[in-house]
Structure 1
């Protein structure tokens, strides 16, 4: 049985493209108001203007400590409460560990792990005081399987799996549901460093999914009745490598 999202207020990070934009559109279609968080001011303003009055732009650089810490207070100055926090922003590093740099590792962990923890830390008191709320995080199949071809990325997503599933249990007494969605390879900017030939082969073989498929999974999770929690949803291309 599904519940309506009409009138709910959602916050989505990384909302200017990819999964975040697809989720924004899906939630707006369900009647929710969406605060779109991204560091790309121009893209946010253009999208918010196109999407209508229920799309609210929030410029935040999650890699800047002050900007990240100010996100939730700034959002609560624009809307009177937050029903849904969807921590979706992230970045990708593929290849062997020796092929990356310490600076790239820091950036990935700061965005994929630290920013998520800080965003959740900021919103938990607000949701706990209201005795309701949903927190969803974009994880990955790489957070469940030792993907040796992308150990830095995989390590960040294993950390998120542990964090989300711990917080899920911690927040049960407060009426707040915490969960994750774990896609396989998605057609998005995260695959920008894939060799063109690899992308072409993946598209042709049906080994990539569209962002809208992940957004559909998120909507399913959010529309379950409050006595039901979807801990995680793995959304994979049918022809994805057999992991």
Structure 2
């Protein structure tokens, strides 16, 4: 049996588009309040006006150390508590390693790995004091397989798989559930960096999924009884050949 999200408060990073926005909409529909975290203030202003009073804007640049550190305190100044932290923001690098400059590698690893660890670390004292909480990380099927056309991205998601599973074991007796959702290719702006031939084939073969289908998986994870943790949910397009 699923449980209502009435009275729950979630914070979602990368909430202005893609999986983050789809999950925001799903949680709002289920009765939750959602703090939408993103660096794009104009997008947040437009979306929160559209989505109503239960959508709260939080402008944070996760790549800026001061802004990242201020995220959780600023959220808690706007809402009474955080039940759910969905670390969803991320970026993508595809192609051969030699084709990628080192600044781009630093940026992606800082967003996909370091910012997630910082956000989780910063929310933990709050959740531990309350004795409850859910932490979900948007990972990837690339965090389970060595994908040769995306070595940097795949490595970042392998790091997240390790981080999520170690944190789950640290926190599972404190009332805090930790899990990850690992989608295959999702129709989003991130695919703009896919090798053109791979993207063309995926589109032709129906090997892509919509952000809403990943949001469905996140909602399933969040609505289990507190005695159940969905450690990792891999969500693939049926025709994805990997």
TM-score > 0.5, shorter chain as reference:
yes
Return the alpha-carbon distance in structure 2 between the equivalents of residues 65 and 83 of structure 1. Answer: 24
Map 1:163-242 onto structure 2 (within 5 A): 163-194=163-194, 198-242=198-242
Return the alpha-carbon distance in structure 2 between the equivalents of residues 51 and 149 of structure 1. Answer: 38
Unaligned runs of 5+ in 1: none
Correspondence 1:103 to 2:120: no
Corresponding residue for 2:12?
A: 12
Correspondence 1:120 to 2:120: yes
> TM-score, length-normalised on structure 2?
0.98
> TM-score, length-normalised on structure 1?
0.98
In structure 2, relative to structure 1, the CA distance for the partners of 1:201 and 1:148 (3 Å cut) is closer
Deviation digits for residues 29-64 of structure 1 (CA, Å, limit 9, x no counterpart): 000000000000000000000000000000000000
Answer with 202-211 or 147-156: which moved more. 202-211
- Count residues with an aligned counterpart: 242
How far residue 202 of structure 1 moved from its aligned partner, in angstroms, is: 1.6
Let me know the Cα RMSD of the aligned residues.
Answer: 0.9
Corresponding residue for 1:67?
A: 67
Unaligned runs of 5+ in 2: none
